[in-house]
Structure 1
Amino acid sequence: MEGSETAERQRLRRALVDLLNTYSSEAQHIGHAFANRNHLHATDMHALLAVMHAERHGTPLTPGKLGEAIGLTSGATTALIDRLEKGGHLRRSRESTDRRVVHLRYGDAGMSLAMAFFTPLRPHTDAVMDQFSVDELQVIEKFLNGMTGALVEYRDELRGR
């Protein structure tokens, strides 16, 4: 019986990695469609996602943290932020008592474009999530957080940190 559990575990590991790769690829296709419609580069999309995620978690990014998150030099990060700010996708905000500290926020125009593009996706994703209990979704959340952490760890190893 233990041998079959091991075989099933191996099968699930392969299947889950394949599914994660497929999900990542499909999400990239949708991200590229959004980028193409709005004349954005792939790096722009990575930056916007990083800013959005940081905002959702209540920890807005500084330009330095954004550059670190997406692997750009400070000069390239500044050019990226300038381009996204000019297009209304990002805005710089000084929110701390130290006026030198700049936080990045999603711009209203950029948010409107994102909402118009991604809102029609929501019924599709809601239909999938509705098939799972809260307990099951918590297990999935734990799994995806762990897998994301593993990727970040490896990315940092590749960067020599």
Structure 2
Amino acid sequence: MNSDSAAGSGYWYGPDERLDPPTAVLQALRGYRAAEVATRRSTRDSMGMGETDLLALRYLLRAQAAGERVGPKDLSRTLGITTASTTSLIDRLVGSGHVRREPHPTDRRSLVIVPTAATDSEVRETLGEMHRRMLAVAEELSAEESRVIVSFLRRMADALTEHVERH
């Protein structure tokens, strides 16, 4: 692709001050996404784990906070990985002290996967400051601004989901 055609699109390249408003919004979303990816990479590196491990912990901590029990099949389905990969994932997380396997309280044949208290503390310590800063930015919005942004982001997510489903 030559620089003239790239600069003409504005979305992929081009100075922000020359972008039309819709393209500037997409450019800002790209900037946010890049910052989010860098933050996730930093978090994974500081915790010494891969992306799937971190996603599993996030899911397990949310389920625990909601009072839900998570079994290996739930984890496999949520992460979109095979049962063999789930077993390896759980083995890694047990080995690193991030989760425990416990008997299911009502089904003797089943296990539940439970994040440890140390994991909750580690995630809070690692991500707490970032979440506080993000929340502070969101709290500066008016109720109307929040409504518009939430609506926009949901429609963008729907547009991406529709694209994925078609392809």
State if a TM-score over 0.5 links the two structures. Answer: yes
> Paired residue for 1:46, among 51, 55, 62?
55
Q: Distance in 2 between matches of 1:65 and 1:149?
A: 24
Cα distance 1:20–1:76, how it changes in 2: closer, same or farther (>3 A)? same
Taking every aligned residue pair, what percent have the same amino acid on both sides? 28
Is 2:81 aligned against 1:72? yes
- Asked if structure 2 preserves the Cα contact closer than 8 Å seen for 1:85 and 1:107, the reply is no
- Asked if structure 2 preserves the Cα contact closer than 8 Å seen for 1:90 and 1:107, the reply is yes
Q: Which structure's CA Rg is the greater one?
A: 2
- Give the letter for the 1:91 counterpart: R
Aligned-residue RMSD, C-alpha: 3.0
Q: Which runs of 5+ in 2 are unaligned?
A: 1-19
> Paired residue for 1:35, among 44, 50, 73?
44
Q: Which runs of 5+ in 1 are unaligned?
A: 1-10
Q: Which residue of 2 aligns with 1:110?
A: 119
Cα distance 1:33–1:153, how it changes in 2: closer, same or farther (>3 A)? same
Q: Distance in 1 between matches of 2:142 and 2:136?
A: 13
- Asked if structure 1 preserves the Cα contact closer than 8 Å seen for 2:61 and 2:120, the reply is no
Q: TM-score, normalised by structure 2?
A: 0.67
Cα distance 1:87–1:56, how it changes in 2: closer, same or farther (>3 A)? same
Cα distance 1:80–1:137, how it changes in 2: closer, same or farther (>3 A)? same
Q: TM-score, normalised by structure 1?
A: 0.69
Q: Distance in 1 between matches of 2:53 and 2:129?
A: 22
Indicate the SS of the match to 2:33.
helix
Indicate the SS of the match to 2:124.
helix
After superposition, give the CA deviation of every residue in 1:35-92 in whole Å (9 maximum; x if it has no partner). Answer: 1122111221222233334445555543223222222110011110121122222233
- Asked if structure 2 preserves the Cα contact closer than 8 Å seen for 1:62 and 1:102, the reply is yes
Indicate the SS of the match to 1:98.
coil
Q: Distance in 1 between matches of 2:63 and 2:164?
A: 19
Equivalenced residues, count: 148
- Give the letter for the 1:67 counterpart: S
Q: Distance in 2 between matches of 1:149 and 1:40?
A: 30
